[in-house]
C-alpha cells in the first residue's frame, strides 16, 4: 500500500476517533439558567442527563435533561446542605448541617424516588458535620466530616461505625472527601488550615486507614482527591494568602507524595478529570477555573462564566461537565471544537515529534510516546543527568507512525533523566523526573 493510501485510511480512523471524542484539548464553559439564587455547594450526576445540586437554606435542584432545565425539590429542611450523592436515578443521600438549634449536628437526607420525596435522620453523634458521602452499593457507604469523622455503614445508613485509623499526629483531622478505586483500595483527604493537608489510605476495604507521613503532608487542607489509576493520584488545595493553589500527587500508590504550588492565587476546592489528560479545578476566590491538558503537569487559569465563584464540579463522561457555586450559579462544559485538519497533521504520520512522558514525575513506570514521518531506523535512548547512556528503548527499523513505549526505572535512583529520539536527520530530547 502506498504512503498516500496509508495516510488516507489513517485519517479515516482518526475522524472516527474524534467522533468518540478521544481528544486532548480543553473546552469552555457556559452559564445555565438556575432556579435559585442560593449558594450551591455540591453537584452530582449519575450520567449525562440526571443530576442534582444542593446548597444553602435546604436547596436541592434536579435536572433530567442534561442541565437544560432544573427543578426545585423539597428537602424538608432550611439548613445548609453540604453534599449530595446518588447511586442511581432513584437512590440518593445528602448531608444537612444544623447549626441553629440544639443539638447541633448533621441531618442525613435520603430519597428512594429520585428526590421527589426526601426523609431525614439525625446522625447519631452531636457536633459532627458530615462533609462528604459515598456509597459503593445500596448497603455499603462511607461519610467524612469535621471535627473528625471517617465512618462506614453496611446496612444502608441505619448504623454508622467509626473507622480504625493508625494513631499519628495527622490521623484525626477533618475529612473533606473520600474516593475508592475498588472494594479494597480507598483514599480520603482533608486537614486543617495552616496546619496540615492530610491523605488517608486503606488497602483492606476500610478496616484500617493510615494517614500520610507528616514529611509529605500539604501545608493546608487537601480539598479533593482524584484516583487516576492504581499508582497515580492527585489532590488539590492551597493557601489563600501566601502560596496560592497547590497540587499534591503520588506516582507510587501513596507511599511518597509531592506538593507544589502552581503559581495561581487562591484555593482549588474541587478536582475532576474529563479524560485521562484533561483536569479541571474551581478557584472560587478568584472567580476562576484552572485546567490542565497534560494530567496536571502544567496548569492554566481562565475566568469562570459571569465571574461566578464555583464551588463544585463533575464530569459524568468526557462530553459533559457541570459545576455550581455562589448565587445559584450553574455552568456547563462545552467540548472543544476540533480542527480536523490540524488534528490529522498532528496524528497522521507526517511529522517527527517526541512527546512528554506520562506520568512525570514518575515512580517507577512511565510511558514515552513518539511519532515518525517515514520508514527508517529509530533510536530512543535514556541518559542520566551526567549525559551517560543508561539504556536503549528502541534501536531498530520502524514504519512511519505513532508509538508508545513503556519504561521502567525500578533499578534507577531518584533524579533527573533525559530521553532522546533520533530518526533520520531528526533529533529531539526531553527531560523526565524519577521520584522514589
Q: Is 55 in contact with 36 (CB distance < 8 Å)?
A: yes
Q: Is the pLDDT of residue 85 over 80?
A: yes
* Mean pLDDT, range 330-334, rounded to an integer: 97
If one counts every other C-beta atom within 10 angstroms of the C-beta of residue 39, the result is: 18
CATH fold for domain 14-334: Methylamine Dehydrogenase; Chain H (2.130.10)
Burial 347-357 (b: 16+ CB within 10 A, else e): bbbbebebbbb
The per-residue pLDDT for range 273-321, each reduced to its tens digit, is: 998 889 999 999 999 999 999 889 899 999 999 999 999 999 999 999 9
Q: Is the pLDDT of residue 12 over 70?
A: no
Q: Which of 256, 154, 151 is nearest to 209 (CA)?
A: 151
Write down the pLDDT at residue 18.
43
- Angle, in degrees to the nearest 10, between helices 340-347 and 3-19: 120
Q: Is the pLDDT of residue 369 over 60?
A: yes
Write down the pLDDT at residue 281.
98
Q: Is 357 in contact with 396 (CB distance < 8 Å)?
A: no
Give the rounded percent of residues in the chain with a pLDDT score beyond 70: 91
Whether the domain at 14-334 and the domain at 350-434 fall into the same CATH topology: no
Q: Which three cell numbers stand for residue 172?
A: 484525626
Indicate the CATH number for domain 350-434: 2.60.40.1930
Q: Is the pLDDT of residue 238 over 90?
A: yes
Domain ranges in the chain are 14-334, 350-434
- Name residues whose C-beta falls within 8 Å of residue 267's C-beta, 6 or more positions apart in sequence: 220, 223, 237, 238, 239, 240, 245, 283, 284, 285
How are strands ordered across the β-sheet holding 51-55? 40-45, 51-55, 60-63, 71-73
pTM: 0.74
Q: Which three cell numbers stand for residue 212?
A: 500520610
Give the rounded percent of residues in the chain with a pLDDT score beyond 90: 73
Amino acid at each position: 500500500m502506498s504512503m498516500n493510501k496509508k495516510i488516507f485510511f489513517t485519517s479515516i480512523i482518526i475522524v472516527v476517533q474524534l467522533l468518540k471524542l478521544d481528544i486532548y484539548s480543553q473546552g469552555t464553559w457556559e452559564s445555565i439558567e438556575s432556579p435559585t439564587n442560593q449558594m450551591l455547594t455540591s453537584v452530582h450526576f449519575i450520567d449525562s442527563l440526571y443530576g442534582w445540586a444542593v446548597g444553602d437554606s435546604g436547596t436541592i435542584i434536579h435536572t433530567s435533561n442534561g442541565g437544560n432545565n432544573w427543578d426545585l425539590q423539597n428537602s424538608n429542611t432550611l439548613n445548609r446542605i453540604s453534599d449530595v450523592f446518588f447511586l442511581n436515578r432513584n437512590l440518593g443521600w445528602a448531608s444537612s448541617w444544623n447549626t441553629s438549634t440544639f443539638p447541633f449536628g448533621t441531618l442525613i437526607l435520603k430519597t428512594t424516588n429520585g428526590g421527589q420525596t426526601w426523609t431525614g435522620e439525625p446522625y447519631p453523634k452531636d457536633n459532627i458535620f458530615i462533609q462528604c458521602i459515598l456509597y459503593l452499593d445500596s448497603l455499603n457507604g462511607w461519610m467524612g466530616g469535621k471535627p473528625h469523622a471517617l465512618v462506614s455503614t453496611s446496612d444502608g445508613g441505619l448504623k454508622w461505625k467509626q473507622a480504625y485509623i493508625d494513631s499519628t499526629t495527622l490521623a484525626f483531622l477533618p475529612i473533606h472527601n473520600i474516593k475508592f478505586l475498588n472494594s479494597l483500595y480507598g483514599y480520603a483527604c482533608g486537614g486543617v488550615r495552616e496546619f496540615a493537608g492530610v491523605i488517608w489510605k486503606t488497602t483492606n476495604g476500610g478496616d484500617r486507614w493510615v494517614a500520610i507521613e507528616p514529611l509529605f503532608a500539604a501545608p493546608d487542607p487537601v480539598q479533593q482527591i482524584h484516583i487516576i489509576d492504581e499508582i497515580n493520584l492527585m489532590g488539590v488545595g492551597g493557601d489563600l494568602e501566601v502560596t496560592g493553589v497547590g497540587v499534591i500527587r503520588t506516582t507510587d500508590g501513596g507511599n511518597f507524595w509531592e506538593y507544589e504550588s502552581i503559581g495561581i492565587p487562591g484555593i482549588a476546592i474541587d478536582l475532576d478529570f474529563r479524560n485521562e489528560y484533561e483536569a479541571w479545578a474551581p478557584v472560587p476566590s478568584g472567580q476562576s477555573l484552572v485546567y490542565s491538558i497534560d494530567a496536571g503537569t502544567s496548569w492554566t487559569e481562565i475566568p469562570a462564566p459571569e465571574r461566578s465563584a464555583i464551588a463544585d464540579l463533575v464530569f459524568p463522561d468526557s462530553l459533559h461537565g457541570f459545576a455550581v457555586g455562589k448565587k445559584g450559579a450553574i455552568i456547563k462544559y462545552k467540548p472543544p471544537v476540533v480542527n480536523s485538519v490540524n488534528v490529522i497533521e498532528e496524528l497522521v504520520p507526517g511529522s517527527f515529534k517526541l512527546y512528554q512522558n506520562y506520568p512525570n514525575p514518575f515512580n517507577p513506570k512511565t510511558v514515552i510516546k513518539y511519532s515518525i514521518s517515514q520508514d527508517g531506523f529509530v533510536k530512543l535512548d535514556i541518559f542520566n543527568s551526567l549525559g551517560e547512556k543508561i539504556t536503549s528503548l528502541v534501536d531498530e527499523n520502524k514504519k512511519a507512525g505513532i508509538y508508545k513505549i513503556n519504561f521502567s526505572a525500578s533499578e534507577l535512583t531518584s533524579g533527573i533523566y533525559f530521553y532522546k529520539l533520533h530518526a533520520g536527520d531528526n533529533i529531539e530530547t526531553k527531560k523526565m523526573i524519577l521520584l522514589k
